[in-house]
Amino acid sequence: MAASRSRTGDLPKKIGSSAIMWLLAVFYGFPLLWFVVSSFKPGGELFSYPLTFWPKNPTLEGYSEAWTSFDFPGYLVNTMIVAIAATLLTIMVSAACGYALAKYGNWWLKVFAGCILATTMLPTETILAPLFLVVRNLGLYNSLSGVVVPAVITATGTFMFRQFFVTVPNDLLEAARIDGSSELSTFFRIMLPLSRPIILTLAIFSFQWRWNEYLWPLIILNEPSQFTLQIGIAGIVGANNVNWSILISASVLSMVPLVAIYLVFQKYVMNADINAGLKD
């Protein structure tokens, strides 16, 4: 495509596009960079004017304080449990439901597909109080499962799997049937392994949603021993006198797991056709 164009017009376009893109990249990257660099400054240097970009005396003091002065390890474990449990359940439930919607034609499946779509219109925020009462009545108040279970049904995940399974040829299903494979074992042994790219994509998305969730855990969790990272960190923000040294280091620490996962699975996220999951 580029070869067919005239060469003379390309250079200014290249310079212009690259300049705009990198200007924007600086705008998007700088706040995070400034934050991370600040986390290595000792408490006093954080506020000593004139500000300097690089720390004069780099230190890990903030990190050790963050780790010990509030229950960081405990919050980390809770957050891990929530994110991993919710992600595994979401994948299983979404894959099963998406497969049913893609490969069977019963009328009640179409009705249910409409219901799931409606859940995107009825977001948690609009039924906060009654949802809280339901979860409390089920005995899930102040427990991590109260955070996990209501989050498992996910329209985006279900439709991502549906779109994927629609593209899997029906012949494959017929062949399995002729071989005498039962419907459920066809799903578990053939179809689920086939959908590995979708599983990975949804896993990253789901992990990110749950890792970063704030409002719902805030409502459901009451005891500090059950808190997730976001609630713990929000607690430092809400304190009368914000301890920035701890806050910044704890914030940076809490980002590390997600960034690591993202860097490992980057290609799945970047190629994810999330349109497929959202359009239908």
Among 10, 68, 175, 194, binds another protein (CB under 8 A): 10
Among 66, 91, 97, 148, binds another protein (CB under 8 A): 97
Asked if residue 130 binds another protein (CB under 8 A), the reply is: yes
Helical packing angle, 61-69 and 72-103, nearest 10°: 80
**Residue with token string 């002065």:** 69
Among 57, 68, 69, 106, binds another protein (CB under 8 A): 106
Among 43, 55, 255, 265, binds another protein (CB under 8 A): 255
H helix runs in the chain, sequence order = 10-38, 61-69, 72-103, 107-121, 128-137, 144-148, 155-167, 170-178, 183-186, 192-194, 196-212, 215-220, 229-238, 244-271, 274-279
Asked if residue 115 binds another protein (CB under 8 A), the reply is: yes
Pick out residues in 41-60 that bind another protein (CB under 8 A). 46-47, 49-51
Pick out residues in 215-234 that bind another protein (CB under 8 A). 215, 219, 230, 233-234
CA distance 165 to 101: 9
CA distance 123 to 119: 6
Check whether the bond before 50 is cis (ω within 30° of 0). Answer: yes
Among 211, 226, 249, 268, binds another protein (CB under 8 A): 211
Binding segment (CB under 8 A) for another protein, from list 58-66, 70-78, 108-116, 192-200: 108-116
Asked if residue 66 binds another protein (CB under 8 A), the reply is: no
